[in-house]
Structure 1
Amino acid sequence: MADHAYMKRAGDRDDSFKTFVWNPQTKQFLGRTGSSWFKIGVFYIIFYACLAGFFAIMMAVFYQTLDTNHLPKYTPGDGGSLLKNPAMGFRPLPRAENVESTLIWYKNGDNDDIKHWVDQLNSFIEPYEGTSKITSGQHVTSCSEDKLPEQRKVCRLRTSGSPDKCQKAESWGYNRESPCILLKLNKMIKWGAEVYETLEELPENMPQSLKDHIKSSMELNGGKIPKMIWVSCEGENPADQEYIGPIRYSPWNGFPAYYFPYMHTPGYLPPIVAVQFDQPMSNVLINIECRAWAKNIVHDRQNRLGLVHFELLKD
């Protein structure tokens, strides 16, 4: 008796579901008549069409605010100090586990320890090697102080002229106790350098060694100061200056001004300066600060503007 009642209830549920799907008496499908389905279908078609149209209008308005050259809305001179002053970067960077560190620490003569720093520099220089092999092209051109790049073109980079130890074949000097650091200015769209044109314009706090170099470079440039963003590296403290040893720069003692401004042009690579530290003191932590010099570069240690700090330790 109980089984018969259970089967009857199951049959009633099946009949109810079939009736819900299609009711032959009321001509309803899933609880709605044909005219009801037609009305709700038309409603949702109109609703989603309006929604898609509104989205398309908003996107069209949004794209009207964008630069066709993919330049940002705010560029140097439009905002605060962070938009007016370039920052500097350096390579090689510390290992991933010490990502916040600025310490370049290696064991002299330990090839396994040196490998990280050499690989970092090799990877960083790869794009520059590719650019240097290009002898012609629509977007690459030779530049000089008197020959600035045309619109939508980039200057061919000079990578030759490095000191003997500042190159891949010499492991960037790390196996010769003369490590090399590569410096660059971070990309800032539309930022151009205001270079020093007379000796009187050189700031008082500029290192004397750099002032002497600028004076000597004038003799090779027809008595005029080359249009450069000059670079200087020094020990931060008197003890650091004592232990740092001789320093050499290549291929220039700074960044040629004709590489700027950066305009988001395809193929652009910022110029680099190789800084070679000849025989820095071993087993001593040396604090080093490198600065870029131009009339419109402000040095700010707190925000790392116009300069870069790192430490060098050679065991």
Structure 2
Amino acid sequence: MEQRRTWEDWMKDLKHYIWNPEKKEVLGRDAKSWCLILLFYFVLYAFLTGMFALCIYGLLSTISPYVPTYRDRVFPPGVSIRPHVSGFHYSFTPSEESTWSAYSENLQKFLEAYDDEKQIENNIVCTPGHYFIQEREEHEEKKACQFRRSMLQNCSGIDDPSFGFSKGKPCFILKMNRIVGFKAGSGTPITVTCDTPKANHTLIGDVHFYPVHYFDLMYFPFYGKLTHVNYTSPLVAIHFTEVTRNTDITIQCKINGQDIINDHKTDRFLGRIVFTMNIR
């Protein structure tokens, strides 16, 4: 019968495996064997690293950091709304500042980049109704057209820091997502409309747009954030002045024009924005 091994025997064998003083081996290998295997793996991983670096270099050498290489399958622009809240449900009481202060603060912060002083200092006055085409080298810095905050008039937050929320006449700001090289509307301005798709339109009454109800062509195309450094997206402010109180009203605002999709079944932000408002 084989004698049963003890823990002491196991530990002795383990120590002998880790370091064998008779053969001068570590983990079963002598110094020459360890040098050869380490040299093999050094050469192998150096080769793999070189191949990876060469592939990355080849890829980056064919890609421009300023504009996307392929833009033929880019979807038309989506839209976003400010103030931004989770669920796009706006519920507030005009007489209670705590119910709408977060909305006005969100708008104030968003419009800081549009302050008149900053726009006059950094951007230029452009010709309305025409694309601002800049025939420059791809890497050269592009100029941007002014979009001054004061152009939003009653929804600028200058005269009324509450943006109408304190009066039950709230303002919302619509912005198109940026797409490099996109010429909005194919020569025709993209308009904005707001309606109640599942209710009577009288629930929201007349809707006012500032500065106008469309995105002017002079703010297009966008040349990318690396060269169009001072570019600020054009805005359309939506002012609701006759909204029915104490009612959940679903409102849909859409952009309309050539090459625009605003009725996609699964993407609710493609060319439109849907939100709910309740003024108590």
Q: Shorter-chain TM-score category?
A: 0.7 to 0.9
1:219-263 deviations in Å (ceiling 9; x for gaps) = xxxxxxxx6322222333562x21212222112222111212222
Matching residue of 1:206: none
Unaligned regions of 5+ residues in structure 1, if any?
Answer: 1-5, 197-226
Matching residue of 1:208: none
SS at match of 1:90: strand
Q: CA deviation at 1:66?
A: 2.5
Aligned positions of 1:123-272 closer than 5 A: 123-129=109-115, 132-137=117-122, 140-145=123-128, 148=132, 150=134, 151=136, 152-153=141-142, 154-164=144-154, 166-167=156-157, 169-170=159-160, 171-194=162-185, 228-236=189-197, 239=200, 241-265=201-225, 266-272=229-235
In structure 1, C-alpha distance between the alignment counterparts of 2:199 and 2:42, rounded to whole Å: 77
Structure 2 letter corresponding to 1:144 = T
Structure 1 letter corresponding to 2:68 = P
In structure 1, C-alpha distance between the alignment counterparts of 2:25 and 2:274, rounded to whole Å: 78
Structure 2 letter corresponding to 1:17 = K
Matching residue of 1:86: 77
Residues 253 and 272 of structure 2 are in contact (CA less than 8 Å); yes or no, is this contact kept in structure 1? yes
Q: CA deviation at 1:124?
A: 2.0
In the superposition, relative to structure 1, how do residues 27 and 103 fare at CA in structure 2: closer, same or farther (>3 Å)? Answer: closer
SS at match of 1:245: coil
SS at match of 1:133: helix
Structure 1 letter corresponding to 2:223 = M
SS at match of 1:258: helix
Q: CA deviation at 1:184?
A: 0.8
Matching residue of 1:102: 88
**TM-score normalised by L of structure 2:** 0.79
1:90-130 deviations in Å (ceiling 9; x for gaps) = 11233xxxx3x23221112111101122122123223333x
1:113 to 2:96 alignment:
no
Q: CA deviation at 1:27?
A: 4.3
Matching residue of 1:39: 36
Residues 122 and 168 of structure 1 are in contact (CA less than 8 Å); yes or no, is this contact kept in structure 2? no
Residues 282 and 313 of structure 1 are in contact (CA less than 8 Å); yes or no, is this contact kept in structure 2? yes
In structure 1, C-alpha distance between the alignment counterparts of 2:12 and 2:63, rounded to whole Å: 61
In the superposition, relative to structure 1, how do residues 20 and 157 fare at CA in structure 2: closer, same or farther (>3 Å)? Answer: same
Structure 2 letter corresponding to 1:93 = H
Larger-Rg structure: 1
Unaligned regions of 5+ residues in structure 2, if any?
Answer: 1-5
In structure 1, C-alpha distance between the alignment counterparts of 2:189 and 2:117, rounded to whole Å: 21
Aligned positions of 1:46-57 closer than 5 A: 46-57=43-54
